[in-house]
């Protein structure tokens, strides 16, 4: 099965929810893949394995942290405010709430027997989506998506 026929609807729904259209659709598919099962697809006449989203989530957490830290610095906050800002923005509870609020649960690729998306699965998927956006579109795209999902509020400059 090719990438679009296997994951196209989930990718499209994710793009609508985030307000970002991926150039490299396989990055979005990886971000949505919470399944540990072997998931293969054809892309460019080559059989590829779709990685689980946990590695991309680590990257997403790190690059999103950088965006938030930049905002903290530009807003002139004291050092102690940073920890609070980060904990509030990137705790699993907030990331899961943001994901469910934007109905990203319908996009997540789950293991065969998994009936529903847990808060942890959702938080990981949101982090992975942020990582995928950064790799695909750069820091400006990431900042926009973080705003679109309500993870950060627009800067008043």
Quote the pTM value.
0.91
Residues 50-100 have pLDDT tens digits of 889 999 999 999 999 999 999 999 999 999 999 999 999 999 999 999 999
Give the model's confidence band at 4: pLDDT under 50 very low, under 70 low, under 90 confident, else very high.
Answer: low
pLDDT of residue 1: 46
Pairwise CA distance, residues 16 & 71, whole Å: 25
Whole-angstrom Cα distance, residue 112 to residue 54? 18
- Give the residue from 47, 48, 51 showing the smallest Cα distance to 37: 51
Query: Please, which pLDDT band fits residue 44 given cuts at 50, 70 and 90?
Result: low
Fold adopted by 5-149: Ribonuclease iii, N-terminal Endonuclease Domain; Chain A (1.10.1520)
Whether 41 has a pLDDT exceeding 70, the answer reads no
CB-based contact 60:149 (threshold 8 Å) = no
**What is the C-alpha separation between 133 and 60, in angstroms, rounded?**
8
Of 44 and 27, the one with more pLDDT: 27
């Amino acid at each position: 099965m090719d990438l679009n026929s296997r994951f196209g609807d989930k990718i499209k729904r994710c793009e609508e929810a985030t307000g970002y259209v991926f150039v490299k659709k396989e990055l979005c598919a990886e971000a949505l893949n919470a399944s540990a099962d072997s998931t293969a697809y054809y892309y460019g006449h080559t059989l590829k394995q779709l990685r689980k989203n946990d590695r991309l989530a680590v990257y997403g957490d790190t690059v999103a942290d950088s965006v938030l830290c930049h905002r903290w610095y530009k807003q002139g906050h004291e050092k102690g405010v940073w920890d609070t800002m980060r904990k509030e923005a990137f705790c699993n509870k907030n990331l899961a709430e943001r994901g469910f609020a934007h109905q990203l649960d319908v996009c997540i690729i789950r293991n065969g027997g998994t009936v529903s998306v847990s808060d942890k699965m959702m938080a990981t998927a949101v982090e992975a989506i942020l990582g995928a956006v950064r790799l695909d579109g750069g820091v400006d795209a990431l900042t926009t998506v973080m705003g679109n999902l309500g993870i950060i509020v627009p800067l008043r400059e």
